[in-house]
Amino acid sequence: MSGFLNRLILRTVSWFFPHLSLRLKASPFFMRYLPQLFLNNRAWASQQTCQDPEFFERLCAIQKPELLWIGCADSRVPANEIVGLPSGELFVHRNVGNIVRRDDQNCLSVLQYAVDILQTTHIIVCGHYHCGGIQAAFGPCTQDPLEGWIATIRAIRQTHADELAALVDDDARWQRLCELNVLAQVGVLSTLPTVVRAWERGQPLAIHGWIYDLRNGLLRDLEVSINANQPG
């Protein structure tokens, strides 16, 4: 019944936006991977319940993660997995290049919810080496949506042009800009009203900058942590 209603809603949308020409029945080509995902999901849910019969009941009752993770959308950097945390222990925001922008309502909303409502005590900005978003900032400008998004990274590259130029090759410049980008986002975070207000009212809140190495799966602390309650 719900499937019928959902299709009806989609058809209604397509009446108002005929140019979308919604295809309500995906072809076998598009569907070939998807049934396996539902099988995987059932197996995962069953495993969770076997290990901990009250797992889902507890998750429904409360969400109280200590950590907000701001990371890259890259599929090779799954936040919970690389730090070994189960569901419910990491509040996650991801985008291309792990960028924190003052005009990004999505990121600002996640931050506000994490700090004001969930009372997270740590914010981790986690970049990664060999980041495609960072690499794009070394390429030519385009008219694509990504161009507007990575303008921030191009600006960081410009700010550190001398340091980057002194490095041995393009790969070294790429990896260093991955680090510099994390540092810049930590700096932006520390000036956002949600964070500043939390510090002003004495709420424990620290911001950290980490980087993940795709080549060995290891995280590294860039040692730029900021905690207004414990300066220095």
- Active-site residue set: 72, 74, 76, 128, 131
Q: Provide the 3-class DSSP secondary structure of residue 122.
A: strand
**Residue among 14 and 95 whose Cβ is closer to Zn ion:** 95
Here's the x/- map for Zn ion, 171-210, by CB under 5 A: it reads as: ----------------------------------------
**Residue among 72 and 100 whose Cβ is closer to Zn ion:** 72
Binding-residue total with Zn ion (CB under 5 A): 4
The residue ranges of DSSP E strands in 20-152, in sequence order, are 67-72, 90-95, 122-128
Write down the least CB distance from residue 97 to Zn ion, Å: 6
3-state helix, strand, coil in the chain (%, to 5): 50, 15, 35
- Residue 99 binds to Zn ion (criterion: CB under 5 A): no
Are 120 and 205 a contacting pair, CB within 8 Å?
yes
Of 65, 69, 70, 74, the residue at the interface with Zn ion (CB under 5 A) is 74
Are 115 and 199 a contacting pair, CB within 8 Å?
no
Write down the least CB distance from residue 229 to Zn ion, Å: 31
Write down the least CB distance from residue 220 to Zn ion, Å: 16
- Residue 72 binds to Zn ion (criterion: CB under 5 A): yes
- Considering only the stretches 17-25, 109-117, 129-137, 199-207, report the one whose residues sit in contact with Zn ion under the rule CB under 5 A: 129-137
CA contacts within 13 A on the Cβ side of 42? 4
Phi, psi of 95 (to 5 degrees): -155, 175
- Show the CA angle centred on residue 150, arms to residues 95 and 119, nearest 5°: 35
**Residue among 131 and 177 whose Cβ is closer to Zn ion:** 131
- Residue 90 binds to Zn ion (criterion: CB under 5 A): no
Question: Pick from 178, 186, 207: which is nearest to 77 by CA?
Answer: 178
- Show the CA angle centred on residue 89, arms to residues 85 and 91, nearest 5°: 110
- Residue 124 binds to Zn ion (criterion: CB under 5 A): no
Write down the least CB distance from residue 67 to Zn ion, Å: 19
Q: Provide the 3-class DSSP secondary structure of residue 55.
A: helix
Are 190 and 213 a contacting pair, CB within 8 Å?
no
Write down the least CB distance from residue 166 to Zn ion, Å: 24
- Residue 131 binds to Zn ion (criterion: CB under 5 A): yes
Are 177 and 153 a contacting pair, CB within 8 Å?
yes
- Considering only the stretches 3-11, 64-72, 169-177, 217-225, report the one whose residues sit in contact with Zn ion under the rule CB under 5 A: 64-72
Residues at the contact surface with Zn ion, assessed by CB under 5 A: 72, 74, 131, 133
